Amino acid sequence: MSILRPFLSRVIRRGRLTVIAPDGAREDYGQPADGFPDVVIRFANRRGMRRIILDPRLGAAEAFMDGEMELVEGDIMDLIGLIRMNTPWDRGAKLKDKTWLGRRGDWIKTRLGSVNRQRQSRANVRHHYDIGNDLYRLFLDEDMQYSCAYWPRPDMTLEEAQVAKKAHIAAKLALAPGQRILDIGCGWGGMAITLAKLEKVEVLGITLSDEQLALARQRAEAAGVADRVRFELIDYRDLAAREAGRFDRIVSVGMFEHVGAANFDTFFRAAANLMTADGVMLLHTIGRFGKPGATDAFTRKYIFPGGYIPALSETLAASEKSRLIVTDVETLRLHYALTLRQWYARTLAHEAEIVAMMGDRFFRMWCFYLAGATAAFESGGMGNYQIQFARSRHALPLTRDYVSESERRYVG
């Protein structure tokens, strides 16, 4: 009996997982079931198996990255999906791979690691976003939207879904000519440029990534909107001290996950101070279903150091302290799962280029990251929230009709 049997026999009930040990011994777990994949994995050595016992998430990732765990049938998306599908969040099943003390340790490490003072925030952003624009071009859509797309129809292309996402957000901002817009965490500039094309507005996009800043400025010039769209390398906390009360609208897409729980109050205080008296903000963020939690060790170490996915309760509680009115909340339950599957497929399609650019270990790490994220949004406790805030109850129309009307006009 392998050291993995106590763990896997408890987890895998539906679908079939076959484990081949270094000595060739085989063990089967679960039963074939419709909709559940059949997966075969082989371990090159017992060290890979021990890593999983010590920390199933981080251990499996590093064993896969180092070639100690090989997928013989199926791929890493199938393996992680099989485990998650057997332990779905919304059916009360949890993957209890750690003791209470271990889970408490993760919580403490998450809180300490996401304090995110300004210097650390810059370092964290560069860890993930300054690894090269060429990598992101290979798996993102043409506009390089690195956040959850919006899928009114599941048969849309990734490009169409990202266009729909930008239109959906723009409609919720209730744009009007002459407004001044702030994009906090502007990425490669796609949202800011789109807003300037949709309406005669002025946009300031801010980022902490040198790579993103340079490309965003190039793209604004190429799009012919550089006279109304500016980009700056600055922390939102510094901007709040400089530009109080200047912006009619604020949009922030996929940035709040990097703020850190210790800075939630600071973020909303800064946003409130940056807005005019009739200002509106649209916050698009990954969110944790249920109560607050912790960031897993793999994500902390390899993907998003300093990152933390907030629960909706944490987000709203922090916004209330700055007297922001929550005017609308939309939960995107499966939209990110659809997006991630597109990114994963494109990553696999460009394996040779990514390996040549970043190395085989990085490619395996990236696949594990995208596969794990997909499983979290399909079966785990993650989703996306779009939260609209206003400083005044009179800032927006009385009903939501304006959103669908503007959206239809923007999509064309």
Write the pLDDT tens digit of every residue in 16-72: 999 999 999 999 999 999 999 999 999 999 999 999 998 889 999 999 999 999 999
Domain shared by 159 and 43, yes or no = no
Q: Distance of alpha carbon 86 from its chain centroid, rounded?
A: 23
Burial of residue 241 (CB within 10 Å: 0-12, 13-18, 19+) is: exposed
Which are the contacts of 369, defined by CB distance < 8 A and separation ≥ 6?
298, 299, 302, 303
DSSP one-letter string for 264-329: HHHHHHHHHHHEEEEEEEEEEEEEESSS-----HHIIIII-TT--PPBHHHHHHHHHTTT-EEEEE
Q: How far apart are CA 124 and CA 305, in angstroms?
A: 6
Q: How far apart are CA 205 and CA 121, in angstroms?
A: 17
* 246 inside domain: yes
Provide the pLDDT for residue 96.
Answer: 57
Q: Of 91, 120, 136, which residue is a domain's last?
A: 91
**pLDDT higher than threshold 60 for residue 112:** no
What's at 359, amino acid-wise? G
Provide the pLDDT for residue 101.
Answer: 55
**Crossing angle for the helix pair 351-358 and 335-349, to the nearest 10 degrees:** 80
**pLDDT higher than threshold 80 for residue 397:** yes
Would you state the structure tokens that stand for residue 326, as one six-digit string? 């929550």
Contact 201, 178 (CB under 8 A): yes
Domain shared by 285 and 349, yes or no = yes
Provide the pLDDT for residue 110.
Answer: 64
What does the mean pLDDT of the chain come to? 93
Q: How far apart are CA 310 and CA 295, in angstroms?
A: 10
Burial of residue 218 (CB within 10 Å: 0-12, 13-18, 19+) is: middle
Contact 259, 267 (CB under 8 A): yes
Q: What is the pTM of this model?
A: 0.92
* 106 inside domain: no
* 96 inside domain: no
What are the C-alpha distances in Å from 234 to residues 126, 186, 209, 245, 310? 13, 11, 9, 17, 23
pLDDT (tens digit per residue) in 158-206 = 999 999 999 999 999 999 999 999 999 999 999 999 999 999 999 999 9
Which residue, 131, 133, 188, is CA-closest to 303?
131
Rounded to an integer, the average pLDDT of 110-138 is: 72
Quick count: other Cβ atoms within 10 Å of Cβ 382? 20
- In this prediction, residue 111 has a pLDDT band, given cuts at 50, 70 and 90, of low
* 107 inside domain: no
Domain shared by 158 and 77, yes or no = no
Domain CATH code at residue 39: 3.30.1050
Domain shared by 213 and 356, yes or no = yes
Residue 306 φ/ψ region, left for φ over 0, alpha for ψ in the -120 to 50 degree band, beta for the rest: left
Which residue, 251, 325, 315, is CA-closest to 286?
315
Would you state the structure tokens that stand for residue 144, as one six-digit string? 């390089």
Provide the pLDDT for residue 128.
Answer: 73
Question: What is the total count of domains within the chain?
Answer: 2
Domain shared by 233 and 307, yes or no = yes
Domain shared by 171 and 44, yes or no = no
What's at 312, amino acid-wise? L
Domain shared by 278 and 338, yes or no = yes
Q: How far apart are CA 162 and CA 147, in angstroms?
A: 9
Domain shared by 62 and 138, yes or no = no
Q: Of 47, 62, 91, which residue is a domain's last?
A: 91
Provide the pLDDT for residue 386.
Answer: 98
Provide the pLDDT for residue 322.
Answer: 97
**pLDDT higher than threshold 90 for residue 1:** no
Contact 290, 258 (CB under 8 A): no
Provide the pLDDT for residue 119.
Answer: 64
Domain shared by 268 and 318, yes or no = yes
The residue ranking higher by pLDDT, 321 or 131, is: 321
Provide the pLDDT for residue 102.
Answer: 59
Which are the contacts of 354, defined by CB distance < 8 A and separation ≥ 6?
135, 138, 347, 362, 363, 366
Domain shared by 181 and 320, yes or no = yes
Domain shared by 160 and 51, yes or no = no
Which residue, 316, 328, 385, is CA-closest to 171?
328
pLDDT (tens digit per residue) in 343-369 = 999 999 999 999 999 999 999 999 999
Contact 48, 69 (CB under 8 A): yes
Domain that holds residue 68: 5-91
Provide the pLDDT for residue 242.
Answer: 93
Domain CATH code at residue 297: 3.40.50.150
Contact 250, 275 (CB under 8 A): yes
* 407 inside domain: yes
**pLDDT higher than threshold 90 for residue 250:** yes
Provide the pLDDT for residue 108.
Answer: 63
* 72 inside domain: yes
Q: How far apart are CA 339 and CA 145, in angstroms?
A: 10
Provide the pLDDT for residue 106.
Answer: 64
Provide the pLDDT for residue 142.
Answer: 97
Would you state the structure tokens that stand for residue 130, as one six-digit string? 């300054």
Q: Of 59, 91, 123, which residue is a domain's last?
A: 91
Domain shared by 67 and 209, yes or no = no
| 3 state SS of 374 | helix
Which residue, 137, 57, 69, 129, is CA-closest to 97?
57
Rounded to an integer, the average pLDDT of 301-311 is: 91
Which residue, 16, 17, 21, 23, is CA-closest to 2?
21
Lowest mean pLDDT among 19-23, 75-79, 127-131, 140-144: 127-131
* 283 inside domain: yes
Would you state the structure tokens that stand for residue 293, as one six-digit string? 């939690």
* 104 inside domain: no
